[in-house]
Amino acid sequence: MRHHGRFAAAVALTTTAAVALAGCTKKNDTDDGTGAGSGSTYKVAFVPKLQGVPYFEAMNAGGKKAADELGDVQWLYQGPTQADAAAQADIVRSYIQQKVDVLIVAPNDPDSMAPLLQQAKSAGIHVATADTDAPNSAREVFVNQASTEGIGQGLTDALMTAMGGKGKYAIVSCGQTAENLNSWIKVQRAYTQEKYPQAQIVDVVYAGEDQAKATQMATDLMNAHPDLTGLVGECTSSAPGVAQAVRDAGKIGKVFTVGLGTPQAMKPYLADKSSSASILWDVENLGYLTAWAGEQLAAGKQFQATNKVSDAMPAVEYDSSSKVLLLGPPLTITGENVDDFNY
């Protein structure tokens, strides 16, 4: 199935709002060109880790689609231009001042974001996380792309298939404090030791959200470990970064890479085999689910154990003990199916 995503420039929206008397009170807004339409709407603001990269722009496209189809959501989207926790916090404060109905964040640093989420909640704003969690915060729900175990094991299995189940590999991660990345790496360490005893993780390094830096770090890792036969790019900037390093070093077929890359960014690397696979999920659906969850919170609706979100997401599971909405199992993207996704 082709996923009709669209990229739109993310625009900082600073419309004023009346004070929310209760979380489920609608506000009257006029059409401002966001696609939310006119009339009574809930203001649902999403603050990504980083604005302007394909991954979060795909989430934005999904959120805007949900706003169009739901009809009662005004989707607001703004993130920092660098993966910086302080810059992200400033945007969160701005949305608190605007008194949006729902504030959803993919935190760069969950610990420093937690007090701001509590501040928003104290101001009568519903708070949630999406893509990456702040588990020790006041968030009411975490919109999770796939299970931690599913992603960590999927990355490991894909790499071990390419490496023949043995050898040394290293991980080029992104934000050192990103809760989702660190949780996946924890699974990768344990799963590698348990299922692939002849394989070993020799190092984990952090490139921020900088693809060029990821390429340089991967190059340095290959130089430091001449017997290295695998690299993992733990996020959507380091996945193409590690593949580029292998391509530049002329080591395609000698050093294998996998990662969490967006399909079209990974397409050339999948084509020349500098990347063996990308483990991801439908990012636009994740954005759609994020907007839908915001509407549920704003309207005071309870999440069910199984939720029909849309025709494309007929059975989204919710775990009440952890307050997690789970998009579904991760996808393995290869050269054969990469064009099923146009982001």
Q: Which letter does DSSP use for residue 12 in this model?
A: -
Position 6 scores a pLDDT of: 36
Query: Judging by beta carbons within 10 Å of its beta carbon (0-12, 13-18, 19+), is residue 259 exposed, middle or buried?
Result: buried
Q: Tokens in use for 60?
A: 């934005």
Position 39 scores a pLDDT of: 52
Residue range 67-81, pLDDT digits in tens: 999 999 999 999 999
Residue range 252-310, pLDDT digits in tens: 999 999 999 999 999 999 999 999 999 999 999 999 999 999 999 999 999 999 999 99
Yes or no: domain 27-145+282-329 corresponds to CATH 3.40.1410.10:
no
Report helix, strand or coil for 335: coil
H or E element in which residue 103 lies: strand 102-105
Position 137 scores a pLDDT of: 97
Give 194-222 as a DSSP string. Answer: HH-TTEEEEEEEE-TT-HHHHHHHHHHHH
Exposure string of 266-277, with b = 16+ CB inside 10 Å and e = fewer, is: bbebbeebbbbb
Report d(CA 37, CA 246) in Å as an integer.
48
Position 269 scores a pLDDT of: 98
**Which pTM value belongs to this model?**
0.83
Position 342 scores a pLDDT of: 87
Q: Tokens in use for 213?
A: 């830096």
Q: Taking the C-alpha atoms of 95, 96, 98 and 102 in order, what is their torsion angle to the nearest 10 degrees?
A: 70
- Do 27-145+282-329 and 148-280 share a fold? yes
Query: Judging by beta carbons within 10 Å of its beta carbon (0-12, 13-18, 19+), is residue 81 exposed, middle or buried?
Result: exposed
CATH architecture of 148-280: 3-Layer(aba) Sandwich (3.40)
- pLDDT, averaged per 10 consecutive residues of the chain (343 residues), comes to 38 33 38 43 97 95 98 98 95 98 97 98 98 96 96 98 98 95 97 98 96 98 98 97 98 98 97 97 97 98 98 97 96 95 90
Give the residue extent of every domain in the chain.
27-145+282-329, 148-280
